[in-house]
């Protein structure tokens, strides 16, 4: 690839549209009753319908329609009321029917948008970008071709054939590689919140094709696009787009034209390679699927589905700032996973120290989850334990640093252990009650009249000596913050 100077690059604009396929986590396949499950022995979840035997009839799994509608509602789409499926005809060994059943002219969801927050690198500054959706449609996945190394044959596993998919297609609105990564993060968060897909790009349950073109800044006509496949993480989608932008500018600057083609991303080199020139659209000979009856979405369906939807991250970020007075940063972190957000709200029903709850979750709890590789769904403390631990620390009965280490360690995965009793048993509690501490502190100060006088004359660093004496003389632990406050009060009076 030619090197292109920054000055030249800055004359061009990047244009990207993304196509995301998400495997829906339904029990069975989209048109057949075989299990929609991964990891089974090859070619075991393959009914005659999946195999496309003559005389068999597909039947629509209604659960997948509901999942697609949920996604559409979450993305502000219009939901189509009258829906049909189409056949997309092509030959490939992992496609036993000789066509893919999909939706061509009548996607179940039309229009819509997602707002994403993008940033350069680790920068604190971000920009918000609205990315319009073109459509979301339902279709089936194909089987899997396996090419064993050094073998002169290909293996076919048809377990995946007929897996329900939604394809989410954006308008060509993306202008920065970071916006593409941010968009994928938002899509993944939503499918996880809705419980319709695990959003795992590394394992391929969510896949992304990037359509990339460039044009001179100020041009209104779109440039020739290239489709990039084979990126199995958000980071790699961003890298592929970054590479492709420079490559295409280089092609145009050399006086050549960008070829319409499909390119593959190579993780190791960070480059894209031509795979095949793109088939013409009409090669697929789309036509309505005669074996499936049209399906209609009614007002009642929409009401019922809408009512069954959880609050979405977008709304929760807002709510966490308004209702719980959390900083924007906390709200974003706590709503990243639905289980975390739900847990936060459950704890906040038991204590009003919302920011303290957030500190616990973002601090010791998150570190624990990271270290153990657990998800928020495997929360190590019960709602009650965390609420009690927060109350104890907020009352000064123990310090946050002791609580978040020693008490936390004692409570982890011991749902029956009560926070206060555990803190007492481990001798972590500290005295912070003014009425108890004040006479005791007066007594200590009275033992050192000369030092007290010197302090009053300005030797403020004697405070440390008094603190030491107070701590030494006490038979129980004392809240050092409270003791310091009271000491100053006594010495200065
Ligand atoms: P095709 O007919 O090749 O499938 P579509 O018009 O269906 O193309 O668009 C597929 C995806 O490519 C969409 O996400 C769309 O936003 C995007 N796209 C279309 N034209 C361009 C372009 N010139 N540059 C970048 N992306 C584009
Ligand atoms: Mg298309």
Report how far residue 192's alpha carbon sits from residue 186's, in angstroms, rounded to the nearest whole number. 10
pLDDT score for 282: 54
**Ligand 2 midpoint to CA 169 (Å):** 8
88 lines ligand 1 (CB under 6 A): no
- Supply 216's token pair: 């001179």
Residue 258 confidence (pLDDT) above 80 = yes
DSSP 201-245: TTTTSEEEEEEEEEEETT--SPPPPEEEEEE-SHHHHHHHHHHHH
pLDDT score for 1: 62
Instruction: Please report, for the chain, the start and end positions of each structural domain, with discontinuous segments joined by +.
Output: 6-299, 311-425, 434-492
Q: 275-311: per-residue pLDDT in tens?
A: 876 655 558 899 999 999 999 999 999 999 999 999 9
19 lines ligand 1 (CB under 6 A): yes
Report how far residue 22's alpha carbon sits from residue 189's, in angstroms, rounded to the nearest whole number. 12
Output the average pLDDT for the chain: 94
112 and 77 in contact (C-beta within 8 Å)?
yes
- Mean pLDDT for 410-438 is 88
- Mean pLDDT for 53-69 is 96
H/E element, 274: strand 271-277
**Hey, what CATH topology would domain 434-492 get?**
Arc Repressor Mutant, subunit A (1.10.10)
pTM comes to 0.88
How would residue 438 be classed by pLDDT, with cut points 50, 70 and 90?
Answer: confident
pLDDT score for 436: 82
- The residues, ordered by sequence, that sit 6+ positions from 108 with a Cβ below 8 Å of its Cβ are 65, 68, 69, 72, 79, 80, 83, 136, 137, 138, 297
Q: How many other CB atoms are found less than 10 A from the CB of residue 26?
A: 19
Considering only CA atoms, which of 17, 14, 46, 15 is closest in space to residue 29? Answer: 46
**Ligand 1 midpoint to CA 86 (Å):** 20
pLDDT score for 278: 62
Gyration radius of the chain over CA positions: 31
pLDDT score for 279: 54
H/E element, 333: helix 328-334
pLDDT score for 358: 98
Considering only CA atoms, which of 477, 473, 485 is closest in space to residue 397? Answer: 477
Report how far residue 32's alpha carbon sits from residue 26's, in angstroms, rounded to the nearest whole number. 11
The upper half-sphere exposure of residue 289, i.e. CA atoms within 13 Å in the direction of its Cβ, equals 29
Residue 80 confidence (pLDDT) above 90 = yes
- Supply 177's token pair: 């590689």
Dihedral of CA atoms 319, 325, 328, 334 in degrees, nearest 10, equals -70
Q: 342-378: per-residue pLDDT in tens?
A: 999 999 999 999 999 999 999 999 999 999 999 899 9
**Ligand 1 midpoint to CA 69 (Å):** 23
Identify which of 167, 174, 208, 225 to mutate to test ligand 1's pocket (most ligand atoms within 8 A of the CB).
225
213 lines ligand 1 (CB under 6 A): yes
Ligand closest to CA 104: 2
- Mean pLDDT for 303-332 is 96
Considering only CA atoms, which of 489, 481, 381 is closest in space to residue 445? Answer: 489
Q: 122-158: per-residue pLDDT in tens?
A: 898 999 999 999 999 999 999 999 999 999 999 999 9
Q: How many other CB atoms are found less than 10 A from the CB of residue 31?
A: 24
Residue 224 confidence (pLDDT) above 90 = yes
59 and 293 in contact (C-beta within 8 Å)?
no
Tell me the backbone φ, ψ of residue 167, rounded to 5 degrees.
Answer: -115, 125
Q: 10-46: per-residue pLDDT in tens?
A: 999 999 999 999 999 999 999 999 999 989 999 999 9
| DSSP 8-state secondary structure symbol assigned to residue 287 | E
Considering only CA atoms, which of 293, 291, 357, 338 is closest in space to residue 99? Answer: 291
pLDDT score for 333: 95
Residue 159 confidence (pLDDT) above 70 = yes
Range in 96-110, 130-144, 360-374, 472-486 with the lowest mean pLDDT: 472-486
- The residues, ordered by sequence, that sit 6+ positions from 269 with a Cβ below 8 Å of its Cβ are none
385 and 350 in contact (C-beta within 8 Å)?
no
Q: How many other CB atoms are found less than 10 A from the CB of residue 371?
A: 8
13 lines ligand 1 (CB under 6 A): no
**Ligand 2 midpoint to CA 226 (Å):** 12
281 lines ligand 1 (CB under 6 A): yes
**Ligand 1 midpoint to CA 373 (Å):** 38
Ligand closest to CA 281: 1
Three-state secondary structure call for residue 87:
strand
- Mean pLDDT for 400-412 is 93
117 and 128 in contact (C-beta within 8 Å)?
yes
72 lines ligand 1 (CB under 6 A): no
CA triplet 37, 38, 41: central angle to 5 degrees? 105
172 lines ligand 1 (CB under 6 A): yes
Report how far residue 162's alpha carbon sits from residue 273's, in angstroms, rounded to the nearest whole number. 30
DSSP 117-173: EE-STT-S--EEEEEEEEEEEEEE---EEE--TT-SS-EEE-TTTT-EEEEEEE-S-
198 and 24 in contact (C-beta within 8 Å)?
no
- Mean pLDDT for 183-192 is 98
432 and 479 in contact (C-beta within 8 Å)?
yes
**What is the CA 343 to chain-centroid distance, rounded?**
16
Q: Please report the atom of ligand 1 found closest to the CA of residue 18.
A: 14
Question: Tokens 């300005």 sit at which residue?
Answer: 458
pLDDT score for 119: 95
pLDDT score for 280: 54
233 and 267 in contact (C-beta within 8 Å)?
no
């Amino acid at each position: 690839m030619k090197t292109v100077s920054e000055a030249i690059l800055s004359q061009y604009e990047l244009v990207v549209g993304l196509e995301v396929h998400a495997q829906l986590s339904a029990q069975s396949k989209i048109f057949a009753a075989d299990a929609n499950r991964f990891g089974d022995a090859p070619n075991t979840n393959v009914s005659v319908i999946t195999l496309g035997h003559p005389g068999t009839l597909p039947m629509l799994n209604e659960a997948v329609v509901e999942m697609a509608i949920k996604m559409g509602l979450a993305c502000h789409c219009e939901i189509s009321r009258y829906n049909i499926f189409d056949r997309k005809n092509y030959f490939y060994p992992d496609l036993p029917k000789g066509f893919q059943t999909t939706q061509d002219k009548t996607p179940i969801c039309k229009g819509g948008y997602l707002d994403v927050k993008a940033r350069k690198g680790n920068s604190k500054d971000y920009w918000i970008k609205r990315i319009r959706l073109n459509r979301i449609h339902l279709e089936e996945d194909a089987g899997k071709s396996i090419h064993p190394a050094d073998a002169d044959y290909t293996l076919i596993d048809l377990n995946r054939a007929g897996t329900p998919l939604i394809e989410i297609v954006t308008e060509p609105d993306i202008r920065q590689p970071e916006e593409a990564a941010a968009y994928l993060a938002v899509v993944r968060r939503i499918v996880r919140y809705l419980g319709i897909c695990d959003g795992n790009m590394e394992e391929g349950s969510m896949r992304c094709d990037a359509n990339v073109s460039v044009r001179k800044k100020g041009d209104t006509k779109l440039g020739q696009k290239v489709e990039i496949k084979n990126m199995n993480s958000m980071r790699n989608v961003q890298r592929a787009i970054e590479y492709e932008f420079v490559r295409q500018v280089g092609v145009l600057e050399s006086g050549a034209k960008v070829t319409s083609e499909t390119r593959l991303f190579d993780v190791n080199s960070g480059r894209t390679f031509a795979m095949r020139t793109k088939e013409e659209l009409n090669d697929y000979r789309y036509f309505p699927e005669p074996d499936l009856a049209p399906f209609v979405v009614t007002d009642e369906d929409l009401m019922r589905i809408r009512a069954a939807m959880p609050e979405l991250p977008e709304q929760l970020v807002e709510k966490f700032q308004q209702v719980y007075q959390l900083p924007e940063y906390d709200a974003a972190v706590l709503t990243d996973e639905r289980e975390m957000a739900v847990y936060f709200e459950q704890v906040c029903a038991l204590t009003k120290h919302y920011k303290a709850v957030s500190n616990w979750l973002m601090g010791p709890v998150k570190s624990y989850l990271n270290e153990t590789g657990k998800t928020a769904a495997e929360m190590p403390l019960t709602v009650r334990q965390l609420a009690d631990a927060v109350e104890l620390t907020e009352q000064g009965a123990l310090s946050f640093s002791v609580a978040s280490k020693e008490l936390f360690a004692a409570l982890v995965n011991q749902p029956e252990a009560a926070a206060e009793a555990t803190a007492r048993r481990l001798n972590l509690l500290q005295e912070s009650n003014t009425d108890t501490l004040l006479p005791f502190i007066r007594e200590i100060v009275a033992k050192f009249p000369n030092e007290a006088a010197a302090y009053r004359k300005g030797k403020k660093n004697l405070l440390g000596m008094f603190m030491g004496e107070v701590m030494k003389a006490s038979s129980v632990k004392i809240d050092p913050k409270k003791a310091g406050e009271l000491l100053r009060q006594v010495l200065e009076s």
